[in-house]
Chains A and B, each alone.
Chain A
Amino acid sequence: MTDISMTSAQSQSQTGKIVLRWLLYIALGLFALFYLMPLFVMITTSLKSLDEIRTGDLIALPREVTFDAWRTAWSGACTGIQCEGVRPYFWNSILIAIPAVAISTLLGAMNGYVVAHWRFRGANIIFSLMLFGCFIPFQVVLLPMARTLGIMGIAGTIPGLIFVHVIYGLGFTTLFFRNYYVTIPAELTKAAKVDGAGFFRIFWSIFLPLSLPIIVVTVIWQFTQIWNDFLFGVSFSQAGTQPVTVALNNIVNSTTGVKEYNVDMAAAIIAALPTLFVYVVAGKYFIRGLTAGSVKG
């Protein structure tokens, strides 16, 4: 595949080939600038003082680097009436994400194991019904969920948000594990059964040790989804329990006082750091989750 350009370019003159190559790299470079520009602007803006922002250029480097905006964003910026920065909300997001990721991944592994290796009559229909749940626009469950959380006594709480994320993450986590486990030969399960191993024993000593890659993919997928969630966060939280995305939006759109763009940008970067970090460290698994999560089946 990759040598097409070479072969067809043989008919062209050597200089033509070099010019084409240069044009190609310039085009790729320009696109890279397009994708990097917002991140660059966010970082430089967050390091400037408000005076410099008002008088300066959008894409200019800061004349004087200051971390005041970062300090304010972390612990002093106002989300409505409270002025504690994003710190408490960042913490909320962690408190929501960790249990929700752990529970939904564990349940997904068990479900996927059943659907792939312990098929019973109706298992296929159950799996299809669960898979279908991945596709619904969540608006269609917002109203009854708000009432149900109220009835359960966990409306506006962190456990409430964990519960919601687990429920609506189940379809995907089950799908991930099911698709991974169907590639493990059924003979393995059969042989283990003959040897007298039971359901949990086989899962624990055969499947789990083989599962590391899919666990990584699932954890990254769920973490990114939950950390970046806004719809559930804004619908089902209250003043003290909002996740960081909701707090960021409140800081940016708070109408009181002077608009502090540098603080907005610093807060946005802080909110983005965990998922960016995951992407940089484990990009391969992140992409695998994306493609598995979108090209379903």
Chain B
Amino acid sequence: MTKWLEENTPKLVLAPSFIAVLIFVYGFIAWTAWVSFTRSRLLPRYDIEGLIQYERLFASPRWDTALNNLFVFGILFIVIAMVLGLVLAILLDQNIRTEGAIRTIYLYPMALSMIVTGTAWKWILNPGLGVEAMVRGWGFENFTFDWLVNPDMAIYTIVIAAIWQSSGFVMALFLAGLRSVDGEIIKAAQVDGIPTWRIYTAIIIPSMAPIFLSAFIVLSHLAIKSFDLVIALTGGGPGYATDLPATYMYAMAFSRGDIGQAASSAMIMMMVVFAIVVPYLYSELRSKDD
């Protein structure tokens, strides 16, 4: 008995966590998947009815807006955050004396809750007393900056706040990448008289391809899961103008009492995440085993 216990201690230690993950991750995904194929409304029902919830989902104009917003927000957020992060990293890489302090300033938003970020930007961007009023107060009477309350522009305020929050983190990733490039190659290029900008575009940036990939994975993951920021900044409004899949799912689950729609929208979100993450994880795990 003691011998058996001794041999199996590692398994017994790992078992509770593993069982918890099996139930609360995989079991729950299965439950949500199952319910997404039923007619569940206020209460879950368990008889499979096919794709009816997905048909309802894709017929819904609100979901259509949410998907469009995810697309617009996701692309702008990922591209701008990556470009800004790379530029900041290259600027900081020029032997800056106060690098530590500047890095701290660029990165601190990452420590804040998205709710705090949303609250701050909501105040700054509110047309009545924020930036618009300030510029008008300087004498530019016709200046308008009402994106926050303009249904066509409100999604861009989310882009601004999200970039403010996350670009410093991308900078940190890229800076680490720049520092890990082989110094010998760079010295050789300098000896050959190759200009600095060519060294960056032809040698350093191409060798950082894996970092671009990680940054892309992290940012797209953040974009798809974006929820708190929208809630705090626009509440999904005006109207449904800034709804994202995550806010749509939440509204269906907890205020509309439409479990079928909540489950099917959650499944779509998961599929989008997996379409991006699975190939990456797969290649990561495989290269580890080699």
A: which residues have CB within 8 A of B?
1-8, 24-25, 27-28, 31-32, 34-39, 41-42, 45, 53-54, 57-59, 107, 110-111, 114-115, 118, 120, 123, 126, 128-133, 135-148, 167-168, 170-171, 174, 198-200, 224, 227-231, 234-235, 245, 248-249, 252-253, 261, 264-265, 267-269, 271-272, 275-276, 278-280, 283, 286-287, 290-291, 294-297
Contact = CB atoms under 8 A, between A and B. Distances in A.
Interface of B: 6, 9-11, 13-14, 16-18, 20-22, 24-29, 31-32, 35, 44, 88, 91-96, 102, 104-117, 119-124, 129-131, 133-134, 137, 164, 168-169, 172-173, 176, 178-179, 181, 183, 186, 190, 195-196, 199, 211, 214, 217-218, 221, 224-225, 227-228, 231-232, 235, 245-246, 249-250, 253-254, 259, 262-263, 265-267, 269-270, 273-274, 277, 281, 284-285, 288
A280 B112 CA distance: 12
A128 to B, nearest CB: 6
Given A230-B114, A276-B111, A38 B120 contact: yes
A137 B285 CA distance: 21
B134 to A, nearest CB: 4
A162 to B, nearest CB: 14
B262 A143 contact: yes
Residue of A42, A139, A144, A234 with most chain B CB atoms under a 10 A cut-off: A139
Given A130-B17, A130-B18, A135 B277 contact: yes
Contacts of A111: 13-14, 17
Contact of A31 (B88, B110, B116): B88
Given A115-B14, A229-B113, A252-B119, 17 more contacts: A4-B186, A5-B196, A25-B96, A35-B106, A45-B123, A53-B129, A110-B14, A111-B17, A126-B14, A133-B21, A135-B221, A135-B273, A140-B269, A224-B111, A231-B250, A264-B123, A290-B172
A199 B133 contact: no
Contacts of B22: 129
B284 A136 contact: no
9 contacts: A35-B168, A58-B124, A114-B10, A143-B266, A174-B17, A199-B9, A229-B113, A245-B116, A264-B119
A131 B123 contact: no
Contacts of A287: 107, 172
B179 A1 contact: yes
Contacts of B231: 230, 234, 249
B92 A128 contact: no
A57 B164 contact: no
B104 A167 contact: no
B214 A295 contact: yes
Contacts of B164: 34-35, 38
A140 B270 contact: yes
A31 B106 contact: yes
Q: What 5 A-B pairs have minimum CB-CB distances, sorted nearest first?
A: A118-B10, A228-B113, A279-B111, A230-B228, A133-B25
A36 B266 CA distance: 36
Contact of B28 (A31, A57, A118, A144): A144
Nearest to B97: A25
A130 B273 contact: no
Contacts of A272: 111-113, 116
B29 A248 contact: no
Given A1-B183, A249-B232, A272-B113, A141 B32 contact: yes
